[in-house]
A and B are shown apart, each in its own frame.
Chain A
Amino acid sequence: MSDLLLEMKNIYKQFDGNYILKGASFSLAPGEVHAIVGENGAGKSSLMNILAGIYRMDSGEILMDGRPVAIENAKHAQKLGIGTIFQNFDLFYDMTIAENIFINQEPVINLGFIKVVNWRKVNKKAGEVLKYLNIRVDPKLPVNRLDFGQQKLIEIARTIVNKSRMIIMDEPTAAFTEKEVEFLFDMIKNLKLMGISVIYISHRLKEIKYIADRITVMRDGKTIATIRKDEIDSNKLVKMIIGDEIKDRYPKLNVKIGKDLFIVKNLCSATLLNNITFSLRQGEILGITGLKGAGKSTLCKALFGLEPVTSGNIYLNGKKIEIRSTEDAVKNGICYVTPNRMQEGLISQMSISDNIIVTNMNRIKKGLFISPALEKNESEKYIEMLGIKFSVPDCKVEQLSGGNQKKVILAKWLFTSSKILILNEPTGGIDMSSKIDVYNILNELVRSGAALIFVSSEIPELLGLCDRILVMHKGSIAKEIHCRDATQEKILYYASGGQ
C-alpha cells in the first residue's frame, strides 16, 4: 500500500498522430499542494483533462490510494473525488450562490415518487460552507452579482460540497486582483487542513513558490522533474521549463519594413484595456503576448470593433479612423483571424467556397445578382492559392482538418484584400504541417506589403517570427521588446508583472 492519494504513471495521449503526452507521470499526497509548471503546449492541461475524465488516455496507469482506477468520464471523476476549477467559468449566472454550490447535490425531501428540493436547507448549508471557507457573501444572491474572484471561490466551494479529495486548479488566478489571490491562498491553506489536496497549474512562479509543497515541470508532453519546496530556485526552474536547446524552427523572412501604417493611442476599454499605445509598420509582424487574462484577446476585439472602447484614437495611414463595428474595421482593410475556428471564424455548415466569399459579396456580383460562375472561379482561385486540401468537392468546412479550416479563414480575409491582419493564436490546435503553411502564408503577406498583429501565447513562435513584441500585463502594455533583444526569460518576466 502506498500512502499517496494519486499516482499517474507513464501517460500517453495523441490527437491526429501528434503526441501531446509522451509518458507523463505525476503523484499527489493527501493534503499536498502540488504545482505543475511548463510552457503553453507542454501538456499540463491535457494531463489534467485526463485526470478529470474529459480525455481518455491512450496508455498509462492511474492509481488512487494505491489501487488502479479507470476514469470513464467527468461525472465518474467527480464521484472518485476529483474536483476541477476550470480556466473558464462553469457557473450558472442567473442562479443563486447556494444553488450553484449545491447543483446536483441538493438536500431533498423525499415524498415517495417525487423529490422536492429543500431550499431552506440548501441556503442554510451553503451559508455554513461559505462561513467555513471564510467567504462573506449572502448565499441567496445570484452569482452574477459577484465579482470575478468571488465567482472562482464559489466554484471551489462547490467542489468541496461534492466531497472532492483533490481539486485541480488550472490557472485560477489569471484575472485575480492581489487581494483575491491572497484570499484564494488562505482558502488553499484551509483545504490542506481538511486533508484535501490541490493540483495547482500556473505560470506565476512567485505564487507557486509561496503556495506549493512540490513542483512538477512539464515540457514537450513529458514530466521533466519534480522538486520539493525547499529546492526551488527561480532561475533553475525557468531553465527547466524552457529547456536547453533553442527551438528555432520558424521560417522568418526579413522583409523591408516601411513607414507607420496603423497607430493606436491611449486606447481604453470599460473592462480591461488601459492606455494601449503602439504603432504597426508596413511589412512588419508585431507580436503580442501575455498571460491568460492580460487582455490580448480583448485588444484584438477592440481593434476589430467587437469590444466597446471608452477612449483613445486609432490612425490609419496618418488619418484618424473610427472603429465602432466590424463593418468599420473591414471597410478600413482590417481583419481578424479568430482563435476559435468554429465559434467565430467560420460557418460550419456552409461550403468552403461560401465561407470565403461571405466577406465580400460585391466581388462576385454581376449587376444586382450573385454570379455562381464567378463565385466558383474566385473561390477556386483562393483554394488553390493557399493549398486548401479537402476530400470531397463541395464539402462543408466542418469536415476539414483544423489546419485547413484556418486556411479558409485566411482565404476569406485575403478575398477582401485586407492590409492589416490581426491574428489571434493562428497556429493554436493545428497540426505541424499546417503550422509551417501558416508561417509561410504570413511571410508572403508581409512581403506583399501587409502588416500583421500576431497574438500568441507560444513565446518561441513569437521570437521566431516577429519583428517586435509587446508584452501585456493586466490590460496594459508592460514592455515593448525588439526581437533581436528578446529572450523567453525576459518576456516571461514582464508578462508576470516584473518592472
Chain B
Amino acid sequence: MFGIQRLQKIREIILEQGYVDVQVLKEKMGVSDITIRRDLDKLEKEGLIIKTYGGAVLNNDFSSRSPTFEGNNLNDYDEEGELISRIAANMIEGEEIIFLSGGTISRYIARRIKDRKKLMVITNDIFVAAELNSNPNIKVTVTGGDLVTDAGIMVGPYVLRMLKEICVNKAFIEVKGVHLKFGYSMESYDEVEIIKRIIDISNEVIALAAYDKFGTTSFTKLGDLNLFKKIVSNKEVPEEYKRYCYENCIKLYTTYELQ
C-alpha cells in the first residue's frame, strides 16, 4: 500500500469511528508503528485528528471549520503535492511575475507564498486566487474565462485573449501525465491551449507533477518530454525518468522529507 492510499484509509476509519488505535492500524496495514505514527503526525497537521496515547481521535473542530471556498480540495491532504510546493515556493524569489496553472499543487504553492511581498501572481485557478486573497502585498490577477465545473479552473477564449497582453517571469505548470513516449499531457484541449500560450509569454516554465503521474498519459498531448527544462516531483519518480532527465539536461527536482 502506498503512503497516500494508507493515509486515505486511515482518514476513512477515523471519520467513521471517531478514533483510531495504533496497534490495530499497524496490523491492518502491515507496516511498522513508526510509519503509522508518522501518518498520524500528518493527519494532525491537517487538523483532522488530535493524537492521544496509543492512537488518535477525530478533531471535532475539523468538520465545522469552513474553508475559504467550498470544494477547495486542499482539505483532502495531498502529501506529495504539498512536498512539491515547498520546492516550487523556494524557486520564487520575490519581485517577479509568476503564473500558477490550475491544480492542487498550485494551490499549495499559493498557500506557501501567501505571506510574501512584492510578488505578482497570475492564475486561471480561482482557489489559488482565494488563497492569496488576504495579502495586500501580492498583486493577484485572475485570467477570467469559463469555469470548468467542480474543478475551479478557467479556460476558453477569454483566457487566451487576456494572456496576449502580459509577460511572465516564471510559470508553474501542473501536468496530468508524463510519459517517455507520449510526453506531457493534460486533461483537455482547452487547458493545453492555455499552457501553450503561457509557454510563449514566459521567461521560464517549470513543470509540476506528483510521482504517480510519471508513466501515465492524460487526454490531450501538451508536448514532448524535453518541453520543460525544469521539473519538480517526488523522490519516487521511476528510475528511467531520472535517467532521461540526466541525459537530456533537464533539471529534475525531487522532494525529500528529512528531519
Contact = CB atoms under 8 A, between A and B. Distances in A.
A79 interface: no
Nearest to B248: A249
A433 B239 CA distance: 6
Nearest to A247: B249
Interface residues of A, number: 33
A381 interface: yes
Interface in A195-237: none
A255 B242 CA distance: 23
B252 interface: yes
A377 B240 CA distance: 30
Nearest to A386: B256
B246 A435 contact: yes
A355 interface: no
A436 B256 contact: no
B235 A387 contact: yes
Nearest to B34: A377
A437 interface: yes
A134 interface: no
Contact of B258 (A245, A378, A385, A431): A385
A443 interface: yes
Contacts of A128: none
A445 B257 CA distance: 10
Contacts of B257: 385, 444
B35 A436 contact: no
A368 to B, nearest CB: 22
Given A248-B249, A251-B251, A377-B34, A436 B242 contact: yes
Given A385-B256, A387-B236, A414-B258, A249 B32 contact: no
B246 A432 contact: yes
B203 to A, nearest CB: 16
A250 interface: yes
B250 interface: yes
Given A253-B87, A255-B90, A377-B33, A433 B242 contact: yes
Contact of A436 (B91, B236, B252): B252
A253 B86 CA distance: 11
Interface string A249-283: 11111110000000000000000000000000000
A436 B256 CA distance: 12
B22 to A, nearest CB: 12
A144 interface: no
A441 interface: yes
Counting contact residues on chain B (CB < 8 A from A), the size range is 20 to 34
Nearest to B256: A444
B254 A436 contact: yes
B27 interface: no
B161 interface: no
Interface string B76-93: 000000000011001101
A380 interface: yes
Interface in A61-82: none
Contact of B246 (A378, A436, A441, A444): A436
B253 A443 contact: yes
Contacts of B32: 376-377, 380
A385 B236 CA distance: 11
B247 interface: yes
A18 to B, nearest CB: 9
A447 interface: yes
A445 B256 CA distance: 9
Nearest to B234: A387
B253 A251 contact: yes
Contacts of B239: 433
B236 to A, nearest CB: 7
Contacts of B93: 254
B199 interface: no
A448 B258 contact: yes
Interface in A393-450: 414, 431-433, 435-437, 440-441, 443-445, 447-448
Contacts of A384: 35
A457 B9 CA distance: 48
Contacts of B249: 245, 247-249
B164 interface: no
Contacts of B230: 251
Contacts of B243: 431-433
B90 A447 contact: yes
Nearest to B253: A251
A248 B229 CA distance: 10
A444 B83 CA distance: 11
Nearest to A252: B251
Nearest to B93: A254
B237 to A, nearest CB: 8
Contacts of A414: 258
Contacts of B255: 440, 444
Contacts of A437: 235, 242, 254
B180 interface: no
B245 interface: yes
A445 B254 CA distance: 13
12 contacts: A251-B251, A251-B254, A253-B87, A253-B90, A253-B91, A380-B34, A440-B255, A441-B256, A441-B258, A443-B256, A445-B258, A447-B86
Interface of B: 32-35, 38, 86-87, 90-91, 93, 230, 235-236, 239-240, 242-243, 245-259
Interface of A: 245, 247-255, 376-378, 380-381, 384-387, 414, 431-433, 435-437, 440-441, 443-445, 447-448
